[in-house]
Amino acid sequence: MFTMVVLMKAVEKNAPMKSFIAPKTNFIEVYVTAVPEFSIAFVIKDTNPPGPSFLFNPMKKFNDEAHYGSLSDKWGITAFMDRKTPGGDDVMRYLSGGSTYPWKTMITLNLTEIENHAEVGTKIAKGFTKFCLDEKHNRPEKFVFRKGHYEDEPKPLNYYLMDKDCVAMLKKMYGGDDGSTKQDLMEYGDLLTNFFGCEEKGKEVLEAVDDYIWDMLD
């Protein structure tokens, strides 16, 4: 009996330990924009060099919220959209596995003009981390709020997003069923400046949007 106990302990001692996979860290940074109601959040993976985090799974979950319940309130996100190349007119892309993909960004809806952006970023970080744990991915991921970016003169929304996406957000915020028409919004110079950088640019973009397309925007 004594010999068997000794053997069992020896087996336990030499048994292979379960491997521990450290979670990948992703940093969330929030940028204040000239549109008081909207902020922009980027997710950056902790690599050298740093790059965009893979957000396909949370994006899919978000877009399927009709089946899973609303995630907009839980995550503090109103939309996922493509990131615009800073100072350019193209979608910012990154290379992965021999293919290029658009760098996704998140638009957050601020409850007040003076929003605590640390709370916004922390809310997204907690929501994404919990999502990854619940989904039991092969390698866990951790999301951490890192920084809020503030400027005395925040940049217009179209510095971060393509014009077509700015139009969609303009319609979403101010042109709903009970809101203003496209023609009404073209009369608000300050609003167009906050979205498109200047009133003339805003009018030019809106005039190019077909009425049918405008009506189809959510």
Q: How many domains does the chain have?
A: 2
According to the model, what pLDDT value does residue 158 have?
95
Q: Do 86 and 154 fall into the same domain?
A: yes
Residue 66 maps to a domain = yes
**Overall average pLDDT of the 123-141 stretch:** 82
Same domain, 34 and 88: yes
Mean pLDDT score, 157-167: 95
The answer to whether 31 and 160 have CB atoms below 8 angstroms apart is: yes
Higher pLDDT, 8 or 179: 179
> From CA 27, how far away is CA 49, in angstroms rounded?
13
Q: Residue with structure tokens 């319609």?
A: 171
Domain residues for 75? 24-161
User: Both tokens of residue 104?
Assistant: 């996704």
pLDDT tens per residue across span 72-129: 888 888 899 999 998 788 998 887 777 788 889 999 877 555 457 788 899 999 999 9
The pLDDT value recorded for residue 8 is 47
Q: Do 124 and 69 belong together in one domain?
A: yes
